[in-house]
Amino acid sequence: MKRLFVAMVAVLVFLSPARAFDFTAPQSGRISFAVAKLLEQYHYRQAKLDDPMSEKFLLMYLNALDYNHLIFLQSDVDEFTSIYGKKLDDSLLAGTAEPAFAMFDRYLQRLAECRKIVDKVLLKPFDFTVDESFVPARNKVPWPKDTPEAETLWQLRIKYELLQGRLNKEKPEETIKLIGRRYARLEKTMREFDAEEILQSYLSSLSHSYDPHSEYLSPTEAANFRIQTISLSLSGIGAQLEWDDGNTKIRSLVPGGPAALSKLLKPNDKIVAVAQDEDEMVDVVEMRLNKVVGMIRGKRGTKVRLLIIPASAPDTKKEIFLVRDEIKLKEQFAKARMIEHPGPDGKLHRLGVIALPQFYDNCSKHVEKLMARLKEDKMEGLILDLRNNGGGLLDEAVKLTGLFINKGPVVQVKDHRSIKVLDDRIDAMSYDGPMVVMVNKLSASASEITAAALQDYGRAVLVGDLATHGKGTVQTVLDLDQAIRTEDVPNPGQLKMTVSKFYRVIGSTTQKQGVTPDVVLPSLYDYLDIGEASLENCLSADSINAVPFTHSGSVTNCFAELNKRSKVRVEGSKDFAYLKVDIDEIKKRQDDKSVSLSEPKRLAEKKSQKERTDARKKERLSRKSTQDKILELTLEMVDNKLPMLPIEQIKKDKDPDLEAVPVPKHDVDDPEADADAEPDARFDPQLDEGVFVLQDYTELLHAPLDHEKVALTK
């Protein structure tokens, strides 16, 4: 259930307009037929929708509904395999989606039975001194064979959740109520799924049978996809919402949005009713988050009325109205910093950092604008931070790479028929100085294109995890109304489909294997199953011929010395020492995924963890303040010709009402998600080391080449 449930609750404010699309059975069938035929004909795999694909599709759908194998019984799975295992392909091509709804109905039946088991188990006393264990992540183990085995599993599951409450020092009766409401809410939520949402899960499971990045986008998800990954703008009131035990709450306000400017809404305020302009108020208590958001969002310039319970006055209700406007999601825009870093010569050197969270429309222009300002302010070297950047628009990756190379090929794109080379055609560099690119295991797709090209051209030193994510595939989004008559289905949604793979200019692929940095740093991500290779049905790695290009940098001359110096610093770093301890803990968990249900044992583990955390905090507070002065630069500051400001001053001047409220992690499938301490965001040892590497690289470029110290690696 995890994937489906998490996707549902994580949508926050970035959802589609209020219009609902509850497809009829014939409409669902027409959409299913169109998606099936398009995948057969145009997906990169060029795989027939046959019996083996049908069996794979069935398992993908069952896992989408019941990710942790706690709801269905093995008898259900066996029955579905017997009926649909070799028939889902036939039903799709016959233009029916009936199996999707039949299996979903069985899921609801089993979910109701599980809820009854939960209610019964919650009435039982538990002995928390017994040394037994539970494996929360059950997605790779069989479903319970029958009802008695299911009851045993749920008993362990509930004991696991009750123990979490005890460890968090909650009152037992409150924990019992919380767990009861959690599963009642889950059942209620799933029963409210409409045809659009069921079809979204069903046809995405079909798409995932071809590869993990293809999916069906229902009308709601299609609008959401464009907002989040392309335009980074929406029309609404500028508030992020969260669902909290039946209530829609304000999580945070977008600076400059209607809600923030009005001063009428604050974080933690509850929205209890919504109306369009002068229409009658609609009660939204216990209403699903996506429905509430759909009611609040709307066209720019229109009015929405909200009935709220202010967090500062929980016994009162207040009606407010706001005029919707276009909201730019500026937190996802590129940002820059200037770091004044002391060098070995005793002088302060000005090093720029540009962080790009994703490749959105016009992001290359934004980076160029920030870079021009940093150059004006005497930047001596640049770090392009692509960590956690999951990709985005392919053409933006090409444009961004072109800022740092003279004209030439950037990436090769191969579909099932031909190979196309995407070039930078501008014979000039916006920046030709020393450069470091920071990457990690979450740097994917377009990030890997840029990082790989800059590495191949010798234009930058890559610093980061053992390898990047390994997503070397390209998706296109097809409007299904091009394949289905609009009189049959007015808005059938879209199909995001993998149609090609990209390759480096040297001919190798990043698919599945990623990009290997020149300077590798310790990272927790290297020990988690989060790369492309861990995804089901991912495409294989291969290679094609290289294309001619001009190696334009001298970075390879410095690798040996850069690694030597970095290794010395990492081995002497307290923060990297802490990281190595955390890595050892991760390795232990990977070896044994079970969790103890013994309270004394868990208390001892918790005490040990707290002691480690407190010791780290104490040691960090005792350190002398860093000599680096950090200045912040945003696109607004560039546009308004404002001076860069020290990061401490920006934090101090920020309106506290606009600060995001942390979201409690109470995923039904991972109630212990908040048990591990979050890393202190003020400490970023990887970026700190990236600054040192850039400083070293700048120094080596300007120093006479000593062949005894600097080994050529290429």
Active centre residues (catalytic) = 445, 456, 471
What is the torsion angle, in degrees rounded to the nearest 10, for the CA atoms of residue 530, residue 533, residue 534 and residue 537? 130
Instruction: Tell me the C-alpha to C-alpha distance, in Å, between residue 217 and each of 214, 224, 297, 392.
Output: 10, 9, 19, 17
The whole-angstrom separation of Cα 541 and Cα 528 is: 20
Contact 555, 697 (CB under 8 A): yes
Helix (H) or strand (E) holding 382: strand 381-385
Longest dimension (CA), the chain: 81
Instruction: Tell me the C-alpha to C-alpha distance, in Å, between residue 510 and each of 44, 90, 405, 433, 514.
Output: 16, 36, 20, 26, 4
Residues 6+ apart with CB under 8 A from 275: 281, 282, 304, 305, 306
Put residue 517 in one of left, alpha, beta given phi > 0 → left and psi -120 to 50 → alpha.
beta
What phi, psi does 121 have (nearest 5°)? -65, -35
Residue 40 tokens, joined: 């057969």
Residues β-bridged to residue 339: 351, 630
The whole-angstrom separation of Cα 166 and Cα 162 is: 6
Return the exposure string of 231-245: e unless at least 16 CB atoms fall within 10 Å of the residue's CB, then b: ebebbbbbbbbbbee
Contact 107, 71 (CB under 8 A): yes
The whole-angstrom separation of Cα 46 and Cα 511 is: 18
Comparing CA positions, the residue from 221, 29, 192, 35 lying closest to residue 104 is: 192
Residue 672 tokens, joined: 């212990």
Q: What is the DSSP string of 576-645?
A: HHHHHHHHHHHHHHHH---EE--HHHHHHHHHHHHHHHHHHHHHHHHSPPPS-EEEEE-HHHHHTTPPPE
The whole-angstrom separation of Cα 194 and Cα 293 is: 16
What phi, psi does 507 have (nearest 5°)? 100, -20
The type of residue at 439 is V
Contact 373, 336 (CB under 8 A): yes
The two beta strands, 419-424 and 408-414, are: antiparallel
78-81, long-range: CB < 8 A, 24+ apart? 80/106, 81/55
Q: What is the DSSP string of 516-528?
A: --SEE---GGGGS
User: Between 98-121 and 25-42, two packed helices, what is the crossing angle to 10 degrees?
Assistant: 110
